[in-house]
């Protein structure tokens, strides 16, 4: 007879596999948490870095709007060059808000 067939078979405990699965799960969740915190910090830094650019864009847009309104006012007074500019802007699909009075 074979020694393996004579040996008493003891059932295996699920402790080791469950322990390994638990450790793997905790490790994976920890890794994901660290990655998400790092990404959040990077997004926050990029958002902060964009503030001056957005402020400059708002200033530039305000200057452009003022220029277009002044051009429209000149066109309303009969200036032929301003009238051509307003017509060209309209032809290109750039809308000019009505002059506020």
In the chain the first and final C-alpha atoms are separated, in Å, by: 110
Phi/psi class of residue 93: alpha, beta or left (left: φ > 0; alpha: ψ in -120 to 50)?
left
pTM tops 0.75:
no
CB 64 within 8 A of CB 50: no
Residue 101, domain member (yes or no): no
Q: In the numeric block, which tokens belong to residue 76?
A: 């309303």
Q: Which domain holds residue 19?
A: 14-91
- Contact between residue 74 and residue 82 where contact means Cβ atoms under 8 Å apart: yes
Highest mean pLDDT among 1-5, 40-44, 90-94: 40-44
pLDDT tens string 15-52: 999 999 999 999 999 999 999 999 999 999 999 999 99
If you average pLDDT over residues 47-72, what whole number do you get?
Answer: 94
| Residue 36 domain-assigned (yes or no) | yes
The answer to whether residue 8 scores a pLDDT higher than 90 is no
> What's the structural domain count of the chain?
1
Domain membership of residue 27 (yes or no) is yes
pLDDT score for 98? 66
């Amino acid at each position: 007879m074979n020694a393996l067939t004579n040996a008493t078979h003891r059932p295996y405990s699920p402790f080791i596999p469950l322990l390994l699965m638990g450790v793997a799960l905790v490790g994976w969740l920890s890794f994901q948490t660290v990655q998400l915190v790092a990404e959040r910090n990077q997004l926050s830094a990029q958002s902060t870095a964009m503030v001056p650019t957005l402020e400059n864009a708002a200033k530039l847009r305000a200057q452009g709007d003022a220029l277009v309104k002044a051009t429209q006012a000149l066109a309303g007074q009969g200036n032929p060059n301003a009238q051509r500019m307003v017509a060209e802007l309209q032809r290109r699909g750039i809308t000019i808000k009505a002059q506020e009075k």
